[in-house]
């Protein structure tokens, strides 16, 4: 694999850098930096979304004919890396990275015309209805049911851990449309409007005090049959396609390496309490070096996957490897951040957001103000999108052949 960028890729990188310099407002960088949650708040993320939409750069992972950029896998990597280095907010993945590619792949021309423009522009905000109180890792056991009533589906049941459901206009949901067949075969994929009396959202506050996730209840909720993606019973196949995009649809390493570099810089001035700065403490320095090496190895793995994609091959089960490593390295970074900041990292302001004129005054630094919130929120990283145990099983069966 040739690890050097081509002259065209280098020119593209300079174009991206110039765009970010001219179009990424400081308030959005500040909002992204001071967000302790997994997702940035919509007032930050959607403003950046619309800036990229106007540039035509909001959907690098979509086919060009459906509104994508037409970039090569290497260009997508360059774009994500430069956005990470510039401190740009992460975009909400639920529309762009999850349901959008599903509609591109499985949707009818009419469904594409109906739903894709709103996802691209940011006019429609989406959430995901997968997990249920009794169906997490064993997602195929889901109970939420939909029955056809004329030309509409009537939906009853509930979903849980539904990120940003309180902001969403639409939910894409896995529902059981046939209880008489094998559990995977009886699942369908529906697009359901949230603004109706049959849908209610109950907030779930995390240990950090953040409100990102929710429980969603369907009580005779309705959606037209034309909002079913694919055929009845095809939902499980579509769900697997979507999960590959969730687990490997973006690169973890650039933002991890940016976070590690910030820790390295801070360690130069943060006192160890024993022998000068923490950067000179051999035990801390060793742990920080090890996590950097792991992140750099992950970056090489991601580049290998990009090389395969450039040859027209599907990402496949390697996305589980990226998800497994990215989540665990991120948690290691969270722990090192707490140790580096010491007592200043114990603060956990419950006021949100932590940016803007009404933000509470930090103790020590803005960086310390979000450290504990990030640590607590990111404990879920090894669960959401498929737990570590699920990823290891996938790797064992499909990669190692065990």
- The predicted pLDDT at position 267 comes to 92
CB 103 within 8 A of CB 111: yes
- The predicted pLDDT at position 1 comes to 47
Query: Dihedral, CA atoms, 95, 100, 106, 112, nearest 10 degrees?
Result: 110
User: Is residue 217 within a helix (H) or strand (E), and if so which, with residue range?
Assistant: strand 213-224
355: pLDDT strictly greater than 60: yes
- Who wins on pLDDT, 302 or 190? 190
CB 26 within 8 A of CB 44: no
- The predicted pLDDT at position 387 comes to 86
Distance CA 175, CA 29 (A): 38
Q: Which of 85, 5, 17, 39 is nearest to 255 (CA)?
A: 85
Active-site amino acid positions: 246
Residue 317's pLDDT band (cuts 50, 70, 90): confident
- The predicted pLDDT at position 4 comes to 73
- Who wins on pLDDT, 362 or 256? 256
Give the CA angle between residues 132, 135, 140 to the nearest 5°. Answer: 120
CB 117 within 8 A of CB 161: no
**CB neighbourhood size of 17 (10 A):** 14
- The predicted pLDDT at position 249 comes to 54
Residue 23's pLDDT band (cuts 50, 70, 90): very high
99: pLDDT strictly greater than 70: yes
27: pLDDT strictly greater than 90: yes
**Could you tell me what percent of the chain has a pLDDT over 90?**
71
Q: Find out whether the peptide bond into 353 is cis, omega within 30 degrees of 0.
A: yes
Residue 400's pLDDT band (cuts 50, 70, 90): confident
Query: What is the average per-residue pLDDT within 293-306?
Result: 89
215: pLDDT strictly greater than 60: yes
Q: How many helices (H) and strands (E) does the chain have?
A: 13, 8
Structure tokens at 84: 């990470």
CB 157 within 8 A of CB 135: no
Structure tokens at 44: 């930050």
- The predicted pLDDT at position 124 comes to 97
Residue 402's pLDDT band (cuts 50, 70, 90): confident
| 311 burial level (CB within 10 Å; 0-12, 13-18, 19+) | exposed
- The predicted pLDDT at position 38 comes to 86
Strands 170-176 and 228-229, by their bridges, are unpaired
Distance CA 55, CA 67 (A): 12
245: pLDDT strictly greater than 50: yes
Distance CA 224, CA 190 (A): 9
pLDDT tens for each residue of 101-114 = 999 999 999 999 99
Q: Which of 80, 78, 77, 58 is nearest to 69 (CA)?
A: 58
263: pLDDT strictly greater than 70: yes
User: Is residue 156 within a helix (H) or strand (E), and if so which, with residue range?
Assistant: strand 152-159
Which residue segments constitute the domains of the chain, with CATH numbers given? 7-91 (no CATH), 126-232 (2.40.110.10), 248-400 (1.20.140.10)
Residue 246's pLDDT band (cuts 50, 70, 90): low
**pTM for the structure as a whole:** 0.90
71: pLDDT strictly greater than 70: yes
Give residues with Cβ within 8 angstroms of 96, minimum separation 6: 49, 58, 59, 61, 62, 119
Could you identify the residue written with the tokens 């849980």? 160
| 362 burial level (CB within 10 Å; 0-12, 13-18, 19+) | middle
- Who wins on pLDDT, 168 or 300? 168
Structure tokens at 202: 């109950």
Q: In sequence order, what are the beta bridge partners of 400?
A: none
Query: What is the average per-residue pLDDT within 214-234?
Result: 97
Residue 394's pLDDT band (cuts 50, 70, 90): confident
Distance CA 257, CA 264 (A): 10
Residue 73's pLDDT band (cuts 50, 70, 90): confident
Under DSSP, the state recorded for 184 is: G
151: pLDDT strictly greater than 60: yes
3: pLDDT strictly greater than 70: no
Cα dihedral sign for 156, 161, 166, 170?
negative
CB 251 within 8 A of CB 260: no
């Amino acid at each position: 694999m040739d690890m050097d960028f081509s002259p065209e890729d280098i020119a593209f990188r300079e174009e991206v850098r110039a765009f970010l310099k001219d179009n990424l407002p400081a308030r959005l960088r500040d909002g992204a930096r001071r967000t302790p949650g997994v997702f940035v708040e919509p007032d930050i993320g959607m403003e950046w979304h619309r800036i990229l939409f106007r540039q035509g750069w909001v959907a690098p992972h979509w086919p060009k004919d459906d509104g994508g950029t037409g970039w090569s896998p290497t260009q997508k990597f360059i774009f994500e890396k430069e956005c990470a280095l510039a401190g740009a907010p992460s975009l909400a993945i639920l529309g762009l990275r999850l349901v959008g590619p599903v509609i591109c792949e499985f949707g009818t021309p009419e469904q594409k015309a109906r739903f894709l423009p709103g996802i691209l522009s940011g006019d429609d905000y989406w959430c995901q209805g997968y997990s249920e109180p009794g169906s997490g890792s064993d997602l195929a056991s889901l109970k939420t049911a939909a029955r056809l009533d004329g030309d509409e589906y009537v939906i009853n049941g509930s979903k849980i851990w539904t990120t940003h459901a309180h902001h969403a206009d639409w939910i894409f949901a896995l529902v059981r449309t046939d209880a008489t067949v094998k559990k995977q075969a009886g699942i369908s994929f529906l697009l359901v409007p949230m603004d109706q009396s049959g849908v209610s959202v109950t907030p779930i506050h995390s240990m950090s005090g953040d409100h990102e996730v929710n429980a969603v209840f369907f009580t005779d909720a309705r959606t037209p049959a034309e909002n079913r993606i694919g055929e009845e019973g095809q939902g499980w196949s579509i769900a697997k396609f979507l999960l590959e995009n969730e687990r490997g649809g973006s690169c973890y390493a650039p933002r991890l390496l940016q976070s590690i570099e910030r820790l390295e810089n801070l360690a130069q001035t943060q006192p160890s309490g024993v022998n000068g700065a923490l950067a000179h403490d051999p035990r801390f320095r060793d742990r920080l070096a090890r996590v950097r090496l792991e992140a750099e190895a992950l970056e090489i793995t991601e580049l290998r996957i990009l090389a395969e994609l450039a040859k027209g091959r599907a990402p496949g089960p390697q996305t589980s490897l990226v998800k497994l490593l990215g989540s665990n390295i991120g948690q290691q970074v969270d722990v090192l951040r707490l140790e580096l900041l010491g007592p200043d990292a114990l603060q956990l302001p419950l006021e949100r957001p932590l940016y803007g004129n009404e933000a509470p005054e930090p103790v020590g630094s803005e960086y310390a103000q979000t450290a504990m919130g990030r640590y607590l929120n990111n404990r879920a990283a090894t669960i959401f999108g498929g737990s570590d145990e699920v990823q290891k099983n996938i790797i064992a069966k499909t990669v190692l052949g065990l």
